Amino acid sequence: MEIWQQMIRDSVHTVDQLVEKFNIDRKIAGDLDEFFQARINPYYLSLIRYPGDPIWRQCVPDKAELEDFEAEEDPLMEDAMSPVPNITHRYPDRALFLVTSQCGLYCRFCTRKRKVGDHEKISMKGLESAFKYLEQHTEIRDVILSGGDPLMLTDQMLEKILKRLREISHIEIIRLGSKMPCVLPQRITPKLCNMLKKYHPIYCNTHFNHPWEITSESSKACEMLADAGIPVGNQMVIMKGINDDAAVVKDLVQKLLKIRVRPYYMYMADETKGANHFRTSIETGLKILEGLRGHTSGLAIPQFVIDAPGGGGKIPLVPNYVLHHDEDKIILRNYKHKIYSYKNYADHNNPDGYGSKNKSNGKAKKIEKEVIKPRKVKLPVLEEIEY
Ligand code: SF4
């Protein structure tokens, strides 16, 4: 047995352990266990500094989870968009492939509680129909292995899946959605990296939410993946009492870049059952983003998105930097709230600029091919104006 597997075995997971370790009332601990079981491995447990801290809040069951009955089991409608077991096919050219129900840690805010934990929740019997679906759908060029956490599979099992995917010629990219570099970095071994290298291009999206999660162990894990040629991105979720603060997120994204992890998405929390106490306002998210743009390098800035309830997919949000926009110019403000004007140049396919409106009737103007001539375009000038 590998060290990481032993650490899974040694995790806090029973009602007795919850009562003893975290002083949770036995009846509440039982109800929480029934709602969504706990798994806190010894590594992640060691990151807790005091009760209720940002690490504790992510992994220790809280009675507030039992007070939130209104939210959906499956807010992103992943099951409704599942043509065969284990596959969600929402976007045109990519598919989500759920390969296990197990995770190195059960996050209290998880969107897939309905799928995670119990082995029965994601059946391995569904793998064959999933492979067939991927083979038949030639428009799928990008497959995201998720679950659960695909790195909970043994190297052998994971390799079988990767090998089979690599036999499908239209699949160009394989992505691993794994929280292991953050919650159980001991899983990233030289043996695993050597195996993954054989199936490039492989990308990994991991999930750090707080700077305290960046330790010598998790840094080493991310660097090993990067050294194996696997670009690592980070998807974080804004949560109350954990990271709903621009200084905390700035610290996190800067530390991520140092360990060669590119901040990729910053999500509003999904409207999933039992997670109401984690939710923040949209204004908080926008404020965090404002606290990054201009204040640290663009490389460190994730896209801020809402994964739209009902399966609408990821929709980006940005603070309002546009004060005015017309056919001649756009008026913008920068991160210091200074105001700038940028000229609106017509382009070759759109010689009238600004949507090519026919001013007489307001309808889009038909552009004859012969009318479009290449012309010199002046370099745009940014000029500061009075405010
Ligand atoms: S690792 Fe991912 S799938 Fe597993 S419990 Fe955490 S958020 Fe859910």
Q: How does pLDDT run across 355-381, given as a tens digit for each residue? A: 444 444 444 444 343 433 434 434 344
Q: Which two structure tokens, joined as six digits, stand for 112?
A: 């897939």
Strands 142-146 and 173-177, bridge-based pairing: parallel
As a whole number of angstroms, the distance between CA 175 and CA 161 comes to 12
Is residue 68 scored above 80 in pLDDT?
no
Alpha helices in 232-350 (DSSP H): 246-258, 282-290
pLDDT band with cut points at 50, 70 and 90 for residue 196: very high
Q: Which amino acid is at 350?
A: N
Residue 287, SS3 per DSSP: helix
* Ligand 1 pocket, residue 171 CB under 6 Å: no
Alpha helices in the chain (DSSP H): 3-9, 15-22, 26-35, 42-45, 54-59, 127-136, 155-166, 180-183, 190-196, 216-227, 246-258, 282-290
As a whole number of angstroms, the distance between CA 181 and CA 204 comes to 10
Mean predicted confidence (pLDDT) in 238-244: 97
CB-side neighbour CA atoms (13 Å) of 133 = 18
- DSSP-derived letter for residue 384 is E
Measuring from atom 6 of ligand 1, which residue has the nearest CA? 107
Q: Which amino acid is at 199?
A: Y
Q: Which residue in 90, 121, 240, 262 is the catalytic one?
A: 90
Is residue 187 scored above 90 in pLDDT?
yes
CA torsion through residues 215, 221, 225, 226, sign: positive
Select from 39, 109, 149, 273 the residue to mutate for testing ligand 1; criterion: most ligand atoms less than 8 Å from CB: 149
- 177 vs 125, which has greater pLDDT? 177
Measured in Å, residue 122 CA sits from the centre of ligand 1 at 13
- Neighbouring CB atoms inside 10 A of 179's CB total 25
Select from 116, 121, 207, 307 the residue to mutate for testing ligand 1; criterion: most ligand atoms less than 8 Å from CB: 116
* Ligand 1 pocket, residue 208 CB under 6 Å: no
* Ligand 1 pocket, residue 112 CB under 6 Å: yes
The partner residues of 315 in beta bridges, in order of sequence, read 306
pLDDT band with cut points at 50, 70 and 90 for residue 350: low
Q: Let me know if 33 is a catalytic residue.
A: no
Angle between helix 15-22 and helix 26-35 axes, rounded to 10 deg: 130
pTM over 0.85: yes
* Ligand 1 pocket, residue 116 CB under 6 Å: yes
Q: What percent of the chain has pLDDT over 90?
A: 78
The partner residues of 324 in beta bridges, in order of sequence, read 331
Mean predicted confidence (pLDDT) in 30-58: 97
* 198-227 per-position pLDDT tens digit: 999 999 999 999 999 999 999 999 999 999
Domains parsed from the chain with CATH numbers: 87-316 (3.20.20.70), 322-384 (no CATH)
Measuring from atom 7 of ligand 1, which residue has the nearest CA? 110
Q: Let me know if 90 is a catalytic residue.
A: yes
Of the listed ranges 120-124, 163-167, 324-328, the one predicted with least confidence:
120-124
Mean pLDDT across the chain, nearest whole number?
Answer: 90
- Distance set, CA 44 to CA 62, 151, 181, 213 (Å): 17, 16, 11, 8
Identify the residue whose tokens are 């930097």: 321
Measured in Å, residue 110 CA sits from the centre of ligand 1 at 5
pLDDT band with cut points at 50, 70 and 90 for residue 353: low
Strands 87-88 and 94-98, bridge-based pairing: antiparallel
Q: Which two structure tokens, joined as six digits, stand for 54?
A: 């940002």
Q: Which residue in 21, 94, 260, 357 is the catalytic one?
A: 94
Give yes or no for a contact between 284 and 253, defined as CB atoms under 8 angstroms apart: no
Measured in Å, residue 106 CA sits from the centre of ligand 1 at 6
- DSSP-derived letter for residue 69 is -
Q: Which atom of ligand 1 is nearest to the CA of 103?
A: 4
Residue 12, SS3 per DSSP: strand
Select from 58, 107, 145, 209 the residue to mutate for testing ligand 1; criterion: most ligand atoms less than 8 Å from CB: 107
Using only C-alpha atoms, the chain has a radius of gyration, in whole angstroms, of: 24
Q: Which atom of ligand 1 is nearest to the CA of 115?
A: 3
